[in-house]
Amino acid sequence: MKSTLNRSKKLIAAFAVAGLLAGCAGGADTEPSNTETDSNSGGELKPITVMMQWGIDGPEGLVLADLIAEYEAQTGNTVELTVVSGDGLDIKRTYEAAVLAGEEPDIVLTNLFASTVDWVSDGATVAVDSYVDEWGLSSVIREGALGVWDSPDGIRGFPYAGLQWPIFFNMKALGEVGIDTIPTTTDALIDASKKLRAAGYQPLAVGGNDWSGTKLFLQMVETYLDAEESKQLMAEGGFCANPKAMDGINLIRDLVSNGVFADNTEGLGYENMVALYHEEQAAMMYSGQWSFAGVPESLAKETEFGGFPLASGAAWSKPTAYNSENGVGINISQNGAANIDAVEPFVKLMFDKKWLSRFAVEASIIPVVEPDSVDPSGANDLFVQAVVDLPTRVDYIPMPDDHVPGDVINALPAAVSLAFTPGSSADKICSAVDDVYSSAG
């Protein structure tokens, strides 16, 4: 295991490249202390510190609060919890700044995305291979999920939550304009959007100026690319030089010009998108399973899931969607490794069937574990749709998080917003995206 002292210069270089040093305590010259000398092995348990991106009052946060209470009752130890809200990148910046200051929490709950993929190699977190085996979790966590989280330096963290990323369709709104089935082609999507606008609804809501718009942009670009072509494009760039990618960008331009996306999508963020759908101003939304539990009960009853509608000549046979096993996982820092006696019972509790089931049923988390490790009794209808029905309706296509370099995907939203801006040319859009890849390289 790397020492905290030895990793400092490498971390500073790695995080500075990603532009993540702003606001870091003590600045780039801060030299962290060597926390590995502080192991509590064999002695009284030290409090553990946990950082998470789940909201404290959200469904995941409420379940976690109960789990923490049980952990404290069982161990007599305490948990100090830090919540970092934001767009999913904020927790990564906050954690990385804490690493540079030598004050990182023992555990960080976040997804395998952007700079997270390099945390083990950079020394910001530790590989958990030995813990997976020693703690008996290799028989609980799906082998495929461990594979997704694996790296040349070891398993990056404990995979916990999977992703299902459909289109939400408000069937009540669609029914009001004479549409009784979800659109499965882009022609049907355009037709539905025009009818919805005439009835006073915004059509498809997406955060065109943040990560959600970036994901949908890439999903639409993948329309005419097969899996291997998609992976190569996302990994290397070269959008302007790729005729199939340009077909995808032209498809986006066609959808924009036909009013498929909500007004001013190029300036919207994820929270705006959610508000438009929850308030039934927009009839469709592009979101994932993390948002199921927050959908108002009356609207959830009217919501049906599908993939992004299929365009003529597409490389896929069904509407497309993303799924992945790189959702929120449990990452252990070097401070956590030094406090492993206190960390171990917390992680084991997270994988206890009782708590896996509560996260699934109450927070709509899709645990990446063996089926007999979860009791889904009482799960809401949206969760059941995502797990049972959606896979029969869609083709799952390569997930950007698994292929787009972290420093690229962090910088893409500004370029991608052009795609949702009326009047932007396909050449301008692809050039902006390729410039992001070139700058990152």
Radius of gyration for the alpha carbons in the chain, expressed in angstroms and rounded: 22
Per-residue pLDDT at 41: 45
Average pLDDT, the chain: 89
Residues 47-64, mean pLDDT to the nearest whole number: 94
Question: Which tens digits make up the pLDDT trace of 358-406?
Answer: 999 999 899 999 989 999 889 889 988 998 899 999 999 999 988 898 8
Question: Which tens digits make up the pLDDT trace of 213-257?
Answer: 999 999 999 999 999 999 999 999 999 999 999 999 999 999 999
Q: Is the pLDDT of residue 322 over 50?
A: yes
Beta bridge partners of 332: 107
Percent of the chain topping pLDDT 90: 76
- Range(s) of the chain covered by CATH 3.40.190.10: 4-162+325-379, 167-287+405-440
Distance CA 1, CA 120 (A): 10
End-to-end CA distance of the chain: 29
To the question of domain 4-162+325-379 being in CATH 3.40.190.10, the answer is yes
Q: Is the pLDDT of residue 420 over 90?
A: yes
Pair 201, 260: CB distance under 8 Å: no
Question: Which tens digits make up the pLDDT trace of 179-193?
Answer: 999 999 999 999 999
Distance CA 275, CA 295 (A): 10
Per-residue pLDDT at 2: 33
Q: Is the pLDDT of residue 407 over 90?
A: no
- Residue 107 is classified by DSSP as E
**In the CATH hierarchy, which fold is given to the domain comprising 167-287+405-440?**
D-Maltodextrin-Binding Protein; domain 2 (3.40.190)
Characterize 322-339 residue by residue with b for buried, 16 or more Cβ atoms within 10 angstroms of its Cβ, and e for exposed: bbbbbbbbbbbbbbbbbb
Q: Scanning the structure block, which residue is given the tokens 């692809």?
A: 430
Distance CA 3, CA 100 (A): 13
Q: Which range has the worst mean pLDDT, 13-22, 134-143, 361-370, 426-435? A: 13-22
Per-residue pLDDT at 112: 86
| pTM for this entry | 0.74
Burial of 260 (0-12, 13-18, 19+ CB in 10 A): buried
Characterize 137-154 residue by residue with b for buried, 16 or more Cβ atoms within 10 angstroms of its Cβ, and e for exposed: beebbbeebbebbeeebb
Cα 84 to the chain's mean position, in Å?
15
Q: Is the pLDDT of residue 170 over 80?
A: yes
Per-residue pLDDT at 43: 59
Find all residues with CB under 8 Å of 249, minimum gap 6, and list them: 221, 239, 419, 426, 429, 430
Q: Is the pLDDT of residue 23 over 70?
A: no
